[in-house]
Amino acid sequence: MDRLYAPWRMAYIDQPDKDHPADGSGCIFCDKAAQDADDRNLIVHRGARAFVLLNLFPYNNGHLMIAPYRHTARLDDLEDAVTLEIMALAQQAQAALERAFHPQGYNLGMNLGAVAGAGIADHLHLHIVPRWNGDTNFMPVLADVKVLPDALENSARKLREAWGERENGSGGRSVE
């Protein structure tokens, strides 16, 4: 039986150049955050210090990434407020995924450094991969299939709506 130990160990292959300057220019996380094109960039939520986007090459439907706006590779370089917000956004992401896709479990993880499997090692990000019973069975098949942009845009829209429902409800945790 196939086991998926670390589904977030996946290169984000839409990457023109791994040698990004330290200022973050040419970094897809910095670029997407700076652009006013959240629909096209599959950004589903923006917090004060970090933002949430769909992975363009997902392991599963609803595979999200949370990245700080500030360009840094080091977890120990993050301010406390940013660290807290990333985890708060992970909680919100779980709730939004719950509403939108009803997953049965989640994998959360970070790859720090290229040797650890980071596709974009210069700008750290937390992967959130929703899981369903039996999904490892079709993952190898899925991995060879190009996910249609329409499907991703549809997922992004559903997640934005689910996120909004949560924000309009009571009991939401926010660090903003």
Q: Which residues are catalytic?
A: 125
The residue among 29 and 163 lying less far from Zn ion, judged by its C-beta, is: 29
Q: By beta-carbon distance, which residue lies closest to Zn ion?
A: 27
Residue closer to Zn ion, measured from CB, 71 or 127:
71
Nearer to Zn ion, 29 or 106 (CB): 29
Least distance from C-beta 29 to Zn ion, angstroms? Answer: 4
User: In terms of C-beta distances under 8 Å and separation of at least 24 residues, what long-range contacts does 82-87 make, across chains too?
Assistant: 82/49, 82/50, 84/175, 85/47, 85/48, 85/49, 85/50, 85/175, 85/176, 86/50, 86/126
In angstroms, give the least distance from the CB of 147 to Zn ion: 24
- Phi/psi at 115 (nearest 5 deg)? -65, -25
Interface with Zn ion (CB under 5 A) = 24, 27, 29-30, 71, 123
